[in-house]
């Protein structure tokens, strides 16, 4: 794998070909290439410096997508752009895709918490779901790994009014993480007030879609090399110090504008945790 292939210039590379620009006007029917969703434009909004278009299918169900590339119009790949004149009525949304609550102050933090494995996980969750979490009064706290997860949960003392949602990296069959979580959930009283979910990635970095970074896939790192250092090396970026890792992550995180830049396997798990923490106490 050459540095030319994975180098930093790839993260800002233009589309491989010039596509016809089509304005996202009300009623225009387009298809999202990645999901196959076909719908008519019903609303256009701008959030966090990017445009989001809402498409309603024939059953009146609505989904939101980032404006730009990745759409088909009458079978032709196009770039969907904002109208040059009046745009459809706007309804601002947060980076997670939910309707933005205008004029609503953040609630005082609840006792419930979301725990994630590290600082980078917390920063990614904050960037995409931060607005939603502040409205709900939920705080995200990074752990230093999960080797002592059972003890940390016991110290926290979860209960009906004090729930825990925990997001774990590399939660796949046979992994160390899966064994730790399995042992935790066997403890009395834990299962009702603690929800542990996970994504399959070695590190939360991989939850960023390769297309968001302008690459075809994440590089494969040899087992003999620390994963993050291997990723930075494959990109041709500085990769020898902790500072290099921090700067590299900041560079990657800057490419994330909304939920559409992340893999569904992470999106679903975070939404599941938020639903668990905000559900009424039965």
**Could you say which architecture CATH assigns to the domain 15-81?**
Roll (2.30)
pLDDT(28) > 80 = yes
pLDDT recorded at residue 272: 93
pLDDT recorded at residue 96: 55
pLDDT(218) > 70 = yes
Residues forming a β-bridge with 78: 20, 71
pLDDT recorded at residue 246: 93
Rounded alpha-carbon distances, angstroms, from residue 105 to 12, 83, 109, 126, 163: 36, 32, 12, 17, 23
Listed by start position, the domains of the chain span 15-81, 113-278
Average pLDDT of span 201-222: 94
> Rounded to an integer, what distance in angstroms lies between the CA atom of residue 69 and that of residue 226?
34
> Rounded to an integer, what distance in angstroms lies between the CA atom of residue 27 and that of residue 181?
48
- pLDDT per position as a tens digit, 120-157: 999 999 999 988 888 788 899 999 888 999 999 999 99
> Rounded to an integer, what distance in angstroms lies between the CA atom of residue 133 and that of residue 112?
11
pLDDT above 70 coverage of the chain, percent: 83
- pLDDT per position as a tens digit, 232-250: 999 999 999 999 999 999 9
Q: Helix (H, G, I), strand (E, B), or coil: what is residue 200?
A: coil
Better pLDDT: 104 or 172? 172
C-alpha 278: how far from its chain's center? 19
pLDDT(101) > 50 = no
Average pLDDT of span 270-282: 87
> Rounded to an integer, what distance in angstroms lies between the CA atom of residue 278 and that of residue 138?
9
pLDDT(257) > 60 = yes
> Rounded to an integer, what distance in angstroms lies between the CA atom of residue 5 and that of residue 15?
15
């Amino acid at each position: 794998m050459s540095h030319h292939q994975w180098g930093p210039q790839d993260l800002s590379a233009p589309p491989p070909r010039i596509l016809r620009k089509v304005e996202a006007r009300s009623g225009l029917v387009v298809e999202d290439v990645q999901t196959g969703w076909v719908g008519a434009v019903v609303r256009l909004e701008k959030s966090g410096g990017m445009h989001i278009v809402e498409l309603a299918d024939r059953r009146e169900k609505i989904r939101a997508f980032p404006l730009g590339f990745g759409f088909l119009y009458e079978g032709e790949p196009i770039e969907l752009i904002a109208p040059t004149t009046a745009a459809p009525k706007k309804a601002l949304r947060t980076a997670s895709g939910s309707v933005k609550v205008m004029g609503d102050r953040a609630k005082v933090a609840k006792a419930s918490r979301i725990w994630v494995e590290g600082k980078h996980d917390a920063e990614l969750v904050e960037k995409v779901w931060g607005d939603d979490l502040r409205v709900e009064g939920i705080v995200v706290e990074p752990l230093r790994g999960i080797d002592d997860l059972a003890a940390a949960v016991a110290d926290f003392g979860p209960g009906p009014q004090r729930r825990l949602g925990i997001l774990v990296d590399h939660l796949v069959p046979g992994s160390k993480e899966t064994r730790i979580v399995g042992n935790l959930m066997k403890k009395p009283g834990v299962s009702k007030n603690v929800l542990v979910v996970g994504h399959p990635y070695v590190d939360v970095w991989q939850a960023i879609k390769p297309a968001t970074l302008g690459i075809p896939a994440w590089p494969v790192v040899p087992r003999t090399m620390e994963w993050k250092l291997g990723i930075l090396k494959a990109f041709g970026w500085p990769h020898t110090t902790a500072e290099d890792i921090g700067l590299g992550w900041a560079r990657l995180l800057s490419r994330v504008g909304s939920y559409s830049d992340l893999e569904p396997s992470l999106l679903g798990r975070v939404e599941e945790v938020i639903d668990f923490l905000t559900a009424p106490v039965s």
